[in-house]
Amino acid sequence: MIKVGIVGAGGYAGVNLLGILLRHPKVEVKWLMSEPAHKGKSISGLFPHLKNNCELVCETLDDLDKNLSSIDIVFLALPHGIALNYVPRILKAGKKVVDLGADYRFNDEAVFKKWYQIDHPDKKVLAKAVFGSPELYKNKIKKASLIGNPGCYPTASILGLAPLVKNGLIDLDSICIDAKSGVSGAGRGANLKVHYCERNEGVMPYAVTSHRHMGEVEYQLGRVAGKEMAVTFVPHLIPMTRGILTTIYAKLKGKSEKLKALYKLFYKDAPFVRILDIEPCTKYVVNSNYCDISVAYNECTNTVIVMSAIDNLIKGAAGQAVQNMNLICGYDETEGLTGLAVYP
Amino acid sequence: MIKVGIVGAGGYAGVNLLGILLRHPKVEVKWLMSEPAHKGKSISGLFPHLKNNCELVCETLDDLDKNLSSIDIVFLALPHGIALNYVPRILKAGKKVVDLGADYRFNDEAVFKKWYQIDHPDKKVLAKAVFGSPELYKNKIKKASLIGNPGCYPTASILGLAPLVKNGLIDLDSICIDAKSGVSGAGRGANLKVHYCERNEGVMPYAVTSHRHMGEVEYQLGRVAGKEMAVTFVPHLIPMTRGILTTIYAKLKGKSEKLKALYKLFYKDAPFVRILDIEPCTKYVVNSNYCDISVAYNECTNTVIVMSAIDNLIKGAAGQAVQNMNLICGYDETEGLTGLAVYP
Amino acid sequence: MIKVGIVGAGGYAGVNLLGILLRHPKVEVKWLMSEPAHKGKSISGLFPHLKNNCELVCETLDDLDKNLSSIDIVFLALPHGIALNYVPRILKAGKKVVDLGADYRFNDEAVFKKWYQIDHPDKKVLAKAVFGSPELYKNKIKKASLIGNPGCYPTASILGLAPLVKNGLIDLDSICIDAKSGVSGAGRGANLKVHYCERNEGVMPYAVTSHRHMGEVEYQLGRVAGKEMAVTFVPHLIPMTRGILTTIYAKLKGKSEKLKALYKLFYKDAPFVRILDIEPCTKYVVNSNYCDISVAYNECTNTVIVMSAIDNLIKGAAGQAVQNMNLICGYDETEGLTGLAVYP
Amino acid sequence: MIKVGIVGAGGYAGVNLLGILLRHPKVEVKWLMSEPAHKGKSISGLFPHLKNNCELVCETLDDLDKNLSSIDIVFLALPHGIALNYVPRILKAGKKVVDLGADYRFNDEAVFKKWYQIDHPDKKVLAKAVFGSPELYKNKIKKASLIGNPGCYPTASILGLAPLVKNGLIDLDSICIDAKSGVSGAGRGANLKVHYCERNEGVMPYAVTSHRHMGEVEYQLGRVAGKEMAVTFVPHLIPMTRGILTTIYAKLKGKSEKLKALYKLFYKDAPFVRILDIEPCTKYVVNSNYCDISVAYNECTNTVIVMSAIDNLIKGAAGQAVQNMNLICGYDETEGLTGLAVYP
């Protein structure tokens, strides 16, 4: 039984993390932190679905130091640029960190700065962070003390592309990622962009050439490829709450016959990746930790089409964070994560 | 004042056509036809929103011949493969036809057969059909007696790509069209695929390498390009009722600076095409005849990104059909089509 | 051709009003006002669906006085408590007012204060206001210079109940109004309650015993009844953008056979009220000015069940406001309001 | 570890039951049956979200007899009128039955016939059936061999009203139940009524004076009251997939002060009933077995307002069925049912 604390419990990723951990057989949640406006409030007041299941009261980051001794692992679910001010001291206190934010997803401070316009305060810590993609770095994760949990779009994009990139099967200059996300990816903060009436019954692209997750995909796929690379990445807002679908286009090099077998082989030890015979639908994965992938090939245009679906808040955030925690703790990778999709 | 009849009034395209024509100042709707199960039923019984506005009773195609004399133009909104059995005799009776279905969108019977597996019964008639894209063929449409009204996906795709293709600005081998459609595109027929609970809160691709509209886009863009071409086209179902957004990716040849000016010039005489400074959203066009287009450029990948949004039932079907009718009749192109989007 | 100005054009009611008036054949919109944050912004920047249709720039209420001379009628679409500071001087300038807010829906300042906790600054003006329900007060409206346009819930509730109340057919102590509204009723302001993810896929009651529209229903139905009365009124938020359905329960006094005939008679001169043979659905009225009503009777419990459906932004706000304007101006009541529901 | 079979696994209630039982620590699912069209198909082919979690192949009711020996309990999730042909022989084989359909919810064959127009083939078996509402009949359920699992609307309605009815606190002639349901309540069968485009963005009542669940509520509440009674019950379709909210109105007899305390006392031993301090929202219970209840009082009309929320497929069907199974088997009532709501 390990003890954990959650920072950022008042957000959608945070509360999903809490929900998973409350049902995890080997975890005890000791405390929760959220923004100052939530201080002193019961988490079940912020999220009434938790009534009778968790009556922890929110603290804030000001209470972090005094609370570190009671836990083994800290989960951070914060907007970018905050975690990096706290992580070094948490590590120094001998605690492990799973950061669901963006601050430790790049080991290279220059690349981080390019995309986030922030100087990283401690490059040594940054260099030690392990990118928390269990399908790519399981052994490193097991030994890590600091995990940069992948972003939601990058999770779907990288899992969709890694087998092709690793095996040199596509023209790296030709990759286009068309990503579709439910609105929960924008977080719980209120603004016009997430107003029900502005999102309902409409689909739109945004940040067409500038989304920060494009940088994460390029950096992490570049590590897989062994060289620098760029991708076209266009995210879209879809009128639904949860789920990401990426549809990925690339020019094939070599033969198309064995693409599916290649994916099955690449992910043979990945319990949460399913290679489908049909098109994926986000409904098949909502509230589960699965990433469903399907591959097709348009022979007239010599284009391989990869489709991947995740729940942005589970495999794209909280579930993958727990999967990383399981690996760090030596637990079975699937512990606490066996929930099936809600259907319909 | 011209007189028209509508065949296929019991479907979503048909009833939207009826709605527009009922408010058109220069049109009188004389009769409606629908499937045999609707025979003798009031259209306002099938569609209660029409109560007090139209009490026409549905006839069927068996009643076509005797009804031709009362009208000037017939609109056909039918599944593919039906209209082609009736159009020759309608033309022979001296009436004009706007066919919202697929039967007259290809002038080449071999291409039609490739995609629809049907032999066209009258190749002379087929050769005379004019593709009803007013932005491309306004003058031909004015003189036409038979219009093949473009499909919904092709409307958004072709309007998005035509300026680039016409001017030779993109690598024709590199085109990927990622299309997102509301569920009404699947028609009013009941099946599991359009069940509320199967579509709601989910996004999925379908017909990934085989959608018939891919053939229409290739054929019609090939005419614009002056050569045969192929595209990658992947449609997706989005949990909303109306609207199509296409996000189109292609490698740029030449300079990126003046793309937007190019689009504005290309569409300077097109009252229903708006070139936006922001990303399009299907909400901005729902229930209107507009096609909103935006262009972006990713310089790291040398990729031009075109985004186009339409209401699949208006500019993608009924509205464009009326636009064609206006041109045929010598009316102002926008007559009866000035409705603004419903917002929010 | 009359000239109008709109105050509150940046909200959902305001922009729907603008949309109707832009297409009204006898109206010219001279200026728009909105909140200070919108000052100087083009309305089509705030609402991109208006591009190419209205390029007016938003002013603010500070600009009101200098703008009064250019118009005949002012529409006010403001949160309660603001209009009452401006209306007296607009009337003094000889202009007419249609107020879509709550400030002039009660002629009795004590009742207004009870529900809104505000002292009305000018009771003489208040006393002159006419409640803008054309189905009840058409002749008064024609002669009015100040209209208190009914609230959205009250419109549906009062139209549903007026025939029964007027004819003394129900026990006035037994009325329960269960009202269901789309989210646009909450306005365009961003807050957690209208966050897409908080409303989507959920239904909830709110303000169960305290909603201000309960006071409006009680006051206005009391006028119809000729005595003071109270009702139970429970509003609910429904995961949709537009539309209100009220389901109204009351104990019947007298016979049940001729209820429908009674409704048809009561509304025989009301072009926007339709008495249905089937259950109403908000989809049948969305984007139209109709109020659809259906009546049923449960004989085991001697309960009459009235169901009424409107578009909260049209018949419940902007459309009814234009209907009132038409009456004031001596135009046909339906001028500019003949739009059919968007279906599906 | 008990062994179970599921009949009707191809429907929404059936697949939710399967999902719960696959994760239940003390249950093994031995076989599945569905309609003839599904025979021989893998359940994960019908419901792709189950891939890698259940590869059972569907049989049909023709295979029932030969399969009875392998299980202890049969779950039936069938349209009404089918189960009653099979239950007697299942019981004769010494197996227990939880019937999620309507066939065993009335112990009185005359009442059943009144609402379902079917003669019950075996009145002795009918008389032995226990209404599976654990909050009302826990001890009877523990000893039962045949459970009539409550309908979805009746679950929410009866749990909302039982404390008031049992304590004689309301006028039984005054009860109005306004029920709002997600579309999954209509089942997985395809028809126009559940077409995405017909339900999306609309709310409508249906079966306003004739819904069969009204009979179930009257019969079962009558048992609680100790006398025959009738209610007004109006169901509505809401554009969402899962969830039921009932808003219940009744005239209070006696005092209003201690209503909430009364509810808390009544449900003190009910682990799945939560008495809220705020309004319930179906989102707080989706995918959980909770029934959330809130009570309010309108003093002007002396009306008590009870609001109850459930997930129609869990507490309203599959979850409650497993709760009953737990009681029958002597397991903890909450075993396998501790899932939290999916939020958001």
Per-residue pLDDT of chain D (344 residues), as tens digits, is 999 999 999 999 999 999 999 999 999 999 999 999 999 999 999 999 999 999 999 999 999 999 999 999 999 999 999 999 999 999 999 999 999 999 999 999 999 999 999 999 999 999 999 999 999 999 999 999 999 999 999 999 999 999 999 999 999 999 999 999 999 999 999 999 999 999 999 999 999 999 999 999 999 999 999 999 999 999 999 999 999 999 999 999 988 889 999 999 999 999 999 999 999 999 999 999 999 999 999 999 999 999 999 999 999 999 999 999 999 999 999 999 999 999 99
Examine the pLDDT at B217 and tell me if it is beyond 90.
yes
C203: which chain A residues are within 8 Å (Cβ-Cβ)? none
Output the pLDDT for position D88: 98
CA–CA separation, A101 vs A79, rounded Å? 6
Residues 71-90 of B with CB under 8 A from D: none
Q: Which residue among B58, B152, B291, B329 is the active-site one?
A: B152
Instruction: Answer yes or no: do C199 and A196 touch at CB < 8 A.
Output: yes
Q: For residue range B311-332, what is the model confidence (pLDDT) as tens digits?
A: 999 999 999 999 999 999 999 9
Residues with Cβ within 8 Å of A25's Cβ and at least 6 positions away in sequence, in order, are A335, A336
pLDDT at B306 over 90: yes
Helices (H), chain B: 12-22, 43-46, 64-67, 87-92, 109-116, 123-128, 134-143, 152-166, 196-199, 212-225, 259-266, 319-329
Hey, are the CB atoms on D192 and B195 less than 8 Å from each other?
no
The Cα B231–Cα B217 span in angstroms is 8
* Angstrom distance (rounded) from CA A313 to CA A316: 5
Q: What is the DSSP letter of C15?
A: H
Three-state secondary structure call for residue D80: coil
What backbone torsions phi and psi does residue B296 show, to the nearest 5 degrees? -135, 170
> Would the CB atoms of A305 and B240 count as touching at under 8 Å?
no
The tokens describing A204, both together, are 């739109």
Question: Which tens digits make up the pLDDT trace of C117-165?
Answer: 999 999 999 999 999 999 999 999 999 999 999 999 999 999 999 999 9
Chains A, C: CB pairs < 8 Å? 57
Tokens encoding D206 = 């249906």
Which residues from B are below 8 Å from C52, CB to CB? 274
Chain D CB contacts of A343 below 8 Å: 15-16, 19, 47, 49
Distance CA D213, CA D206 (A): 12
- Give pLDDT tens digits for B92-143: 999 999 999 999 999 999 999 999 999 999 999 999 999 999 999 999 999 9
CA distances, B75 to each of B14, B17, B19, B134, D188 (Å): 9, 9, 13, 17, 35
Instruction: Please return the burial class of D87, using the count of CB atoms within 10 Å of its CB with bins 0-12, 13-18 and 19+.
Output: buried
**What pLDDT is stored for residue C26 in this prediction?**
98
Mutation to test the C interface, candidates A34, A183, A194, A195, most C Cβ within 10 Å:
A195
The pair phi, psi for residue B245, each rounded to 5°, is -120, 130
Q: Which domains does chain A have, with CATH numbers?
A: 2-128 (3.40.50.720), 152-312 (3.30.360.10)
Contacts with B268 (C-beta within 8 Å, 6 or more apart), sequence order: none
Q: Are the C-beta atoms of B131 and B155 separated by less than 8 Å?
A: no
Q: How far is CA D286 from the centre of its chain?
A: 14
- The reply to whether residue B48 touches residue C184, judged by beta carbons under 8 angstroms, is no
- Selecting among A54, A152, A300, A329, the annotated active-site residue is A152
Contacts of D240 in chain B (CB under 8 A): 200
CB contacts < 8 A, A to B, total 155
Given a contact cutoff of 8 angstroms between Cβ atoms, the answer to whether A59 and A67 are in contact is yes
Query: Which of A46, A200, A242, A312 is best to mutate for the C interface (most C CBs within 10 A)?
Result: A200
Q: Which ipTM score applies to this complex?
A: 0.97
Q: What is the mean pLDDT of chain B?
A: 98
Find residues 228-287 of chain A whose CB sits inside 8 Å of chain B: 230-232, 234, 236, 238-243, 245, 247, 249, 279-283, 286
Backbone angles phi, psi at B170, to 5 degrees: -130, 155
Band of residue C254 on the pLDDT scale cut at 50, 70, 90: confident
Q: Do B183 and D191 touch (CB under 8 A)?
A: no
Find the residue in B nearest to D182 (Cα): B197
Q: In what order do the strands lie in the sheet with B73-76?
A: B58-59, B27-33, B2-7, B73-76, B96-99, B146-148, B130-131
**Across the interface, which of B188, B195, B240 has its CB nearest the CB of D190?**
B195
What's the rounded Cα separation, in Å, for the pair D322 and D75? Answer: 9
**Residues C92-116: what's their mean pLDDT?**
98
Strand C58-59 vs strand C27-33: parallel, antiparallel, or unpaired? parallel
pLDDT of D254 reads: 83
**pLDDT at residue B1 above 90?**
yes
3-state secondary structure of D114: helix
Please say if the pLDDT value at position B254 is more than 90: no
Look at residue A254 in the predicted model and tell me its pLDDT: 83
Helix/strand/coil (H/E/C) assignment for every residue in D161-173: HHHHHHCCCECHH
pLDDT digits (tens, 9 = 90+) for B56-76: 999 999 999 999 999 999 999
Cβ atoms B9, B24 nearer than 8 A:
no
Q: Which residue of A has its CA nearest to B195?
A: A344
Minimal CA separation from B157 to chain D, in Å? 24
Tell me how far the alpha carbon of residue D158 is from its chain's centroid.
11
Q: Say how far apart CA A282 and CA B205 lie, in whole Å.
A: 10
Q: Which residues of C touch B42 (CB under 8 A)?
A: none
Residue in chain A closest to B299 (alpha carbons) equals A209
Measured distance CA(B83)–CA(B99) in Å, rounded: 7
Q: What percent of chain B has pLDDT over 70?
A: 100
Write out chain D residues lying below 8 Å of C236, CB-based. Answer: 180, 245, 247
Write the DSSP assignment of A110-169 as a string of letters.
Answer: HHHHHHH----S-HHHHHH-EE--HHHHHHHHHT-SEEEPPPHHHHHHHHHHHHHHHTT-
Q: What are the b/e assignments for A76-108, b being 16+ CB within 10 Å?
A: bbbebeebbebbbebbeeebbbbbbbbbbbbbe
Burial profile C329-344: b = 16 or more Cβ within 10 angstroms, e = fewer: bebebebbbebbbbbb
| Rounded Cα gap, residues B61 and B40, in angstroms | 13
Q: Which residues contact B307 (CB under 8 A, 6 or more apart)?
A: A205, A208, B160, B245, B246, B247, B248, B279, B280, B293, B294, B295, B296
- Token pair 């100052």 is found at A36
Which tokens in the block code for residue B294? 């935006």
Q: Which residue in this structure is represented by tokens 């049969």? A: D74
Q: What is the mean pLDDT of residues C309-331?
A: 98
A245 contacts in chain B (CB < 8 Å): 203-205, 236
- What is the Cβ-side half-sphere exposure of residue D309, based on CA atoms within 13 angstroms? 29
Of the partner residues C200, C241, C343, the one whose CB lies closest to the CB of residue B47: C343
Whether A84 contacts A118, CB under 8 Å: yes
Report d(CA D323, CA D133) in Å as an integer: 9
- Closest CA of chain C from A343, distance in Å: 13
How many whole angstroms separate alpha carbon D164 and alpha carbon D144? 27
Residue C175: its pLDDT value, please?
A: 98
Instruction: State residue C21 phi and psi, 5-degree precision.
Output: -70, -30
Question: Are residues B205 and A300, on separate chains, in Cβ contact within 8 Å?
Answer: no
Distance (Å) from the C-alpha of residue D283 to the closest C-alpha of chain B? 14
Given C234, C301, C344, which is nearest D232 (Cβ)?
Answer: C301
pLDDT in tens, B10-32: 999 999 999 999 999 999 999 99
* A230 pLDDT tier (thresholds 50, 70, 90): very high
Cβ separation C183–A190 shorter than 8 A:
no
Strand residue runs (E) in B168-269? 176-181, 204-205, 232-237, 244-251
Tell me the mean pLDDT in the region A18-35: 98
User: Cα distance from D65 to chain C (closest Cα, Å)?
Assistant: 41
- Predicted local distance difference test score (pLDDT) of residue C182: 98
Return the residue of C nearest to D295 by Cα: C208
Neighbours of chain D (3+ CB pairs under 8 A): A, B, C
**CB nearest C298 (choices: D182, D198, D232):** D232
CB–CB of D287 and A12 under 8 A? no
Mutation target to probe the B interface, by most B beta carbons within 10 A, among C29, C43, C51 is C51
Segment 200-219 of chain B within 8 Å of chain A by CB: 200-206, 208-209
